Structure 1
Amino acid sequence: MRSFSSPQHKMFTTEDYDYSTYSCDTNPGLVQGSYQMLLYLLFFLGLMGNVTVLWVLIRYIKLKSMTDVCLLNLALSDLVVVLTLPLWASLQQQYSGDWLCKVMSGAYQLGLYSGTFFVTLMSVDRYLAIVHAVAAMRARSLRYGTVASVVIWALSLAAALPQAVFAQLEDEDGAFSCQTHYPENVATSWKMYHNFTENVVSLFICLPVMVYCYVCILVVLLRLRNSKKDRAMKLILGIVCMFVICWVPYNVAVFLKTLQMFNIGSSCEMEVRVNAALQVTQIIALTHCCVNPVIYAFVGEKFRNCLRLVLSKNLFCKRLVRHTATLSRGSENETSNTPV
């Protein structure tokens, strides 16, 4: 993923994407105010959802299994991303030099890479819990979950570090932008590395792993005679569909932008269209940070029960809790918090 460029137009590009050798205004000229409102909205929704998940996990559920560790780290990853959004939205104000630009770019990239990896780890955890329930009991322990989380954070940090190192704050006629400036002699190589890393991680590693895990889970669920399997299958399809909707369009736009480095489809009209597509698809990709708490935590029976208990202690929430309990009675998800 990328961070913001000009606060006037190029909302999410820390990377200079002007690969053409001719003069062409590739700025799509999208409305700045609308993007700022969307960013603040995503910040509010993502903050509320992920902070709630962290609070319930740490305070009431505790960390007892790989599933709990995955939920905790996924919420942390999403929180890292959403905390940078207000800074990007208000970038027209000058901050304290390049250091904040570097922190913003690095944190943004770190959260997005780690979030994608942890979503994939959640899929593997559910695959093991259903397809290899007995054999994988030891592999799904708290210890192995912690080790896997450390590895994911290390890989994500390595992938995000170049963006933080080369990020610089620029002043373009009073409009400040956080740009990525690679050394001139290796700029093209770094840009290609960054783009291909995003495509490989999302499209060629994480997505195939998720699809394989959930297809195997669906095969097992189809063999079961259970009245609740239809709901579990719908949830699985929803998880995969949300990942595809949020991430595939953005990665396609990144791939098209990479092709322009080789003068493939690098006309002025195509650059305008691809730049506009990048802006729109990056906003769509960010919505995944708000959706994750819903599809991975709030649908789980154990998590919902703990949250209901927390809310019941608040006099203002008792009526809401009783209403929620009535609606959900008889429809609890038997595989929540582990398989589905």
Structure 2
Amino acid sequence: MTELKNDRFLRALLREPVDVTPVWMMRQAGRYLPEYKATRAQAGDFMSLCMNPELACEVTIQPLDRFELDAAILFSDILTIPDAMDLGLYFETGEGPRFKKPVRTEADVEALPIPDPADRLDYVIKAVSTIRRELNGRVPLIGFSGSPWTLATYMVEGGSTKDFRHIKQMMYSQPQVMHQLLDKLAQSVTSYLNAQIAAGAQAVQIFDTWGGVLSPACYREFSLNYMAKIVAGLTRESEGRKVPVILFTKNGGQWIEQIADAGADCVGLDWTIDIGEARQRIGNRVALQGNMDPSVLYASPERIREEVATILQGFGNGNGHVFNLGHGIHQFVDPESARVFVDAVHELSAKYHS
């Protein structure tokens, strides 16, 4: 395998010394980039773009050609697993993802297959190997999946939701059915991420977008418990180095100690928690990733640099920080603002690593 020219992202995840704080952005390949829009138009629609390994590779690398990012993240979608379970995924313009066959009953759950990544998800695995080849050691490649709870939320609701009516109804009135669904999803996510690692992903992140809508007890039982099962089943070494795992629960700041104990190497933080407080609470157990509010990127270059400086100062000296936004970059952000952000992280962080 090609030697990595820039491994500071992987080193930071393992709390090893780095020269500057590494930085990448959730959704860094996306609609804020004109070149992404052009490639998506060429593909025809979003899922056609995801399912074309060459075009998925192209959009994965586009942000790296613009910005001095320290990692690439596979271009895909968290709903690839439910799609491979034959639920009829489609996208309504302006409405987001929808499923033709929502999962609402015990019979629906029992009928769900556990997809073989080499079969129904082979386009993702091909994209991973294509991207690794084209990166040629520039930076590490991050693979990812949605968490079981987050995937279940979309599957049971039949799409996006604001009130979580159907998923919480199942959770409270039929907990055994909920656990059966989450267990199938945990098995699916584990094999899916292991296939990504085998194809060349050098770190993986689990996106728990909807874990933060749960009560503390339900979060432990229905979300964190299944992410911990996945982490325990992952391939943790490949190509002679450790494959770090990042857990990111949006609005999960109140549970970071428990997340840190789930077996991953890094806890992703959204912008609603102070990173200095997070570091005090979990010490050196794991690395921290985050956590600038993506909306700061609408501000002036001076204000963006100021916010970067505040977060770097909050984390303080030493290792174990990967800089990121607290959620995905917004589609209306000026790419020049993203450049200011990335450059500021590298420039202003050096003093914390001397």
Say yes or no: TM over 0.5: no
Higher relative contact order (CA 8 A, sep 6+): 1
Structure with the bigger percentage of helix: 1
Q: TM-score, normalised by structure 1?
A: 0.27
Structure with the bigger percentage of strand: 2
Q: TM-score, normalised by structure 2?
A: 0.26
Greater gyration radius? 1
